Amino acid sequence: MDISTAGLRVLRQIAESGSFSAAAVRLDYTQSAVSRQAASLERNAGAKLFERRSDGVRLTPAGLTLLRYARTILDSLAAAERDLAGTGPRTELVRLGVLLSAGAAILPAALRHLAAADPGITVTTTEGTTPALIRALRAGSVDLAVLTSRPPHRPLDGESPRLRVEAVADVELVVAASSTGAFAGRTEVHVEELVDASWIATPSPGSEPLLGVWPGLPGRPRIVHSARDWLTKLHLVAGGFGVTTVPSRLAPVLPGGVSLLRVEGAPAEVRRVLVARLPDRDTPALRAVTRAIAASV
């Protein structure tokens, strides 16, 4: 096979992004250039590497096989560039993907714990949704990812090999409301009281559901504000401009003026916090980061 490193980078980015257009944006290529690289990869590999589906592009089994080697080649080239430039890391690097809601609640405590227990490890972080972080794991762009799942906790995706997953905690979802608004002084709210509430939700592509509206809410929610940033959402709540769904673990970092309410009259909504990685990535550094995350939870 005659495959260029540029082609391997395109393969990895398509696997991570889930589409040719998103890969083009991240690589600063035109979409036609990405399509040409993809076609060239398939010709040189002598196999179909990409499957175009209604929810984007996924790698075929042959594509996943090539991706496994692409990760090794590209990581080795990056390490060689650092060594030749004399900028090789003095500590062991772990690239951690973090779910949006876990940044404030888990990440700082985990990094403090790691700094005390294993100062020879450096962590860089990338924030994303669960589907995006799973793709990043598969593509080799991150080494570990903090994710969540909901009952009945099926495998995170249908790809092979199956991701190695460690459950570190179960976290209950609650509703964040203004401390001086309609629910002032309360610790509980009935689900029926939330039907006509003003909701602050996160913009969500159909394939990547995000927190915002209560999952078991009957009827169609009235969304008045849409924000991806947690600080924005919570300050809108504090100002009395709506309510939103949050993991209960955010309690220590809530801004003033926000109260958390347990929802009655509906099944409890519990999310499991997971640390996931590829099964062939098992190093002392990855295990140390996983321990630090578990300790922080």
**Residues 31-60: pLDDT tens digits?**
889 999 999 999 988 899 999 888 788 888
Angle, CA 258 vertex, CA 254 and CA 259 arms, to 5° = 105
What does the domain layout of the chain look like in residue ranges?
Answer: 5-85, 92-160+273-296, 170-271
Whole-angstrom distance, CA of residue 165 vs CA of residue 133: 13
- Domain 5-85, CATH number (from 3.40.1390.10, 1.10.730.10, 1.10.1040.10, 1.10.10.10): 1.10.10.10
Residues 6+ apart with CB under 8 A from 160: 61, 64
> Rounded CA gap, 2 and 87, in Å?
30
Residue reference for tokens 């030749």: 84
Taking each helix axis from N to C end, the angle separating 20-27 and 31-45, rounded to the nearest 10 degrees, works out to 110
CATH code reported for the domain at 170-271: 3.40.190.10
Q: Do domains 5-85 and 92-160+273-296 have the same CATH topology?
A: no
Q: Over the chain, what is the mean pLDDT?
A: 88
Query: Which range is least confidently modeled, 9-13, 30-34, 198-202, 209-213?
Result: 209-213
Count of helices and strands (H, E) across the chain: 9, 12
Per DSSP, 179 falls in state: T
What SS3 string covers 126-190?
A: EEECHHHHHHHHHHCCCCEEEEEECCCCCCCCCCCCCCEEEEEEEEEEEEEEECCCCCCCCCEEE
Q: What is the pLDDT of residues 119-175, one digit of tens each?
A: 889 999 998 888 889 999 988 889 999 998 888 888 888 888 889 999 999 999 999
Q: Topology of domain 92-160+273-296, per CATH?
A: D-Maltodextrin-Binding Protein; domain 2 (3.40.190)
